[in-house]
Structure 1
Amino acid sequence: MFDLRHVALLMLMGLIGAWIWRGFGLRDQALILVRQHCKQADVQLLDESIYLNKLRIGRSKGLRLGIVRHYGFEFTVTGERRYNGYIELYGSRLRHIELAPHPFPGGGPAVAYGSLE
């Protein structure tokens, strides 16, 4: 009926399932961070979604090994063009958010040219 191999296989499947379930929670956390960042940058997050690009092993500042998740997303400034951005999480902590070069809403800061007298 059940032997040790079956128990080990069930435990392995349970661990994999728990890891995937935790990954969904981290994706939701990353989506919340992206929404906040887009709101602060005065851009609109498109499709209200992010997608997993990469999953790799990386080091923290304390040189501890951990999993780094790299999620991509798209945003717009004026609604005409889509720009890419990404967020990296080390474990459950924010590592980096970056938005692609894009025009600033309202034309950006005014620049005066000429002599500085």
Structure 2
Amino acid sequence: MSSVIILMCLAAVAVIWWKAKEAQERALKAARAYCKNLGLQLLDECVVQGHWHFRRGDSSFLVVERIYQFEFTSTGYERYVGEVIMRGAKLVSVHVEPHVVQY
């Protein structure tokens, strides 16, 4: 009986890790697309998970809302911070801080 409980706990941890990795990959894809559309350069080609909490999703069930941060540049000299908000596997929004626009 105890081995079944241990296996269930390991399976739950694996599913949680898998879902977190999937959300991070989607957040990176969203950051890349956002930067490309605005003519910005995504730096380091990564997003870092900031914090997370539970929110109500579209179907009124609790889902994990994760906030990822990334760095970008518009001029090649300064670094600016942006964030991607994911609710479950769904993209909620992408925000960037005010930055210099180069023509």
Q: Which deviations, in whole Å up to 9, do the C-alpha atoms of 1:72-109 show, x marking residues without a partner?
A: 00000011110000000001111111001001121xxx
**Number of the residue aligned with 1:98:** 95
Query: TM-score by structure 2 length?
Result: 0.93
Does 1:35 find its partner at 2:21? no
Whether contact under 8 Å (1:42, 1:105) holds in the other structure is no
- 1:49-60 paired onto structure 2 within 5 Å: 49-60=46-57
Higher relative contact order (CA 8 A, sep 6+): 2
1:46 is the counterpart of 2:59:
no
Q: Secondary structure at the match of 1:101?
A: coil
Aligned mates of 2:37, 2:56 — CA distance in 1: 28
- State how many pairs are aligned: 103
Partner of 2:62: 65
> Structure 1 residue 61: deviation in Å?
4.8
- Seq. identity, %: 30
Secondary structure at the aligned position of 1:12 is classed as helix
Q: Indicate the structure with greater strand content.
A: 2
* Runs (5+) with no aligned partner, structure 1: 107-117
Task: Supply the distance in 1 between the matched residues of 2:84 and 2:41 (Cα, whole angstroms).
Answer: 16
Give the direction of change, closer, same or farther, for the CA distance of 1:15–1:49 in structure 2 (3 Å limit): same
Q: Runs of 5+ in structure 2 lacking a partner?
A: none
Letter in 2 for 1:78: T
Query: Considering only CA atoms, is the larger Rg found in Structure 1 or Structure 2?
Result: 1
Q: CA RMSD in A?
A: 1.2
- 2:82 — aligned with what? 85
TM-score (norm: length of structure 1) = 0.82
Tell me how far apart the structure 1 counterparts of residues 58 and 5 of structure 2 sit (CA, whole Å): 35
CA distance in 1, matches of 2:101, 2:61: 38
